[in-house]
Structure 1
């Protein structure tokens, strides 16, 4: 089957970003350019980010783990799931975690969508999250990390800080608790960790985080929410 050019272009950008993330994982913290999404948290800290919820089974279990270890996270919520689980979205916010926009329906590759569709995906999610928690989010993560100049521009139109990541255990593939634990344990100062609480069985993710969080704290790393752009670094 012949793929349309926007699809092929979006996939090539995704491949390029793999190298960018690897570079940012090794690079010491420095203020970055606004043209890029965020790849780093603040000096001496790590930011745990959680995508694809809220999920009625796995999100409460993850919230319990985070509460037990007294660490904040940043939840990138899907608009359609937020509309189905508004009380759960509210529980995330009331627990002190940051909330971000992860599109309405999680279409991929996101960068292959035209600007109008991107605006609809982002704009409707802003409304659904605001309905649930009382205010719209200030953070956005493109599904699959599908960035482009257009995606970044549409996010900026909504006043959103674009957020990527630097440590990815691919927990959505359910690779096993040891694998997820091993990858997350390699996190260092300034890293943004990517995990998931929706879209499948997330028991491995929750078990791994229960192990990893104490390990990282013992190494002197602080957990912080992802900051919005006016207080953020790249």
Structure 2
């Protein structure tokens, strides 16, 4: 599926994925912490779980809020799986539970991550990359394999400029409707394209629509990837206007925030314009906008 076709599919599936998206976002945000400049070797306490922004489908709002509250409670399910037990595709014999954040960001508190999904798109991704480069900022790009396969040069540019290239499946399906083999195929094919273009297999993945399930977590770990949700949803896919997107980012700005935006899947000109406005404002407000690093497991 290419370019604008993402948009119609997103609208058709988003209502069914809203509850799962809220749960997945809150669960992954639970493992996010900012580095407050602690002495080497010290461990920061887990950050308070962040509740994601209101899902796009109003009818699912109450259910999503309940799901977010439940997801905010620590559990072995939410804290699994853990990648890094050896070669990719090798599952641990016994899955352990994390007792501290696996993801830290450098800086003294005012640190944020910008993420862009669904690309790369030759109409919008290069403009986003130019804006990030102009401000010497790195971001995360969760790419879809069928978009990436025809735009490998952009993946190479992302990697060369220090951005993180993550896995967003091959064709952006609702993973909760696929078999385990279908989920693996979606992830693995995209891993292969990313590795071919950038020289490295991805270390992060994000489920389309934020719809996670046990199989997605487990298979992602077997492929050597960690899941990453978000805490501020710009809802830019609705094309609400560049000013609205900018306000959502600035109003949601806080230490440890992960912002969700898009560089493909429809007309993303508003997302491009909004980034040009809110990125310098964040930097002027002393936010450190960067990419995360994984803690050793």
Structure number with the bigger relative contact order (C-alpha 8 A, sep ≥ 6) is 1
1:71-128 CA-to-partner distances (Å, cap 9, x unmatched) read: 10001111111111111111111111111001011112x2221111000000110001
Cα distance in 2 for partners of 1:75, 1:227 equals 15
Cα distance in 2 for partners of 1:209, 1:93 equals 20
Corresponding residue of 2:245: 180
1:31 aligns to 2:35 (yes or no): no
Corresponding residue of 2:287: 221
Q: 1:78 aligns with which of 140, 144, 148?
A: 144
What's the CA shift for 1:13?
6.7
RMSD of the TM alignment (CA)?
A: 2.9
1:197 aligns to 2:263 (yes or no): yes
Indicate conservation of the 8 Å contact 1:47/1:73, yes or no: yes
What's the CA shift for 1:230?
3.4
Corresponding residue of 2:170: 104
Cα distance in 2 for partners of 1:25, 1:136 equals 23
Residues paired across the two proteins, number: 221
Unaligned regions of 5+ residues in structure 1, if any? Answer: 1-9
Q: 1:116 aligns with which of 172, 175, 181?
A: 181
| 1:50 counterpart SS class | strand
1:15 aligns to 2:80 (yes or no): no
Structure number having the greater helix percentage = 1
Poorly superposed stretches of 4+, deviation over 4 Å = 10-13, 19-30, 36-41
Greater mean alpha carbon deviation, residues 83-92 or residues 29-38? 29-38
1:90 aligns to 2:156 (yes or no): yes
Indicate conservation of the 8 Å contact 1:139/1:228, yes or no: no
Indicate conservation of the 8 Å contact 1:40/1:165, yes or no: no
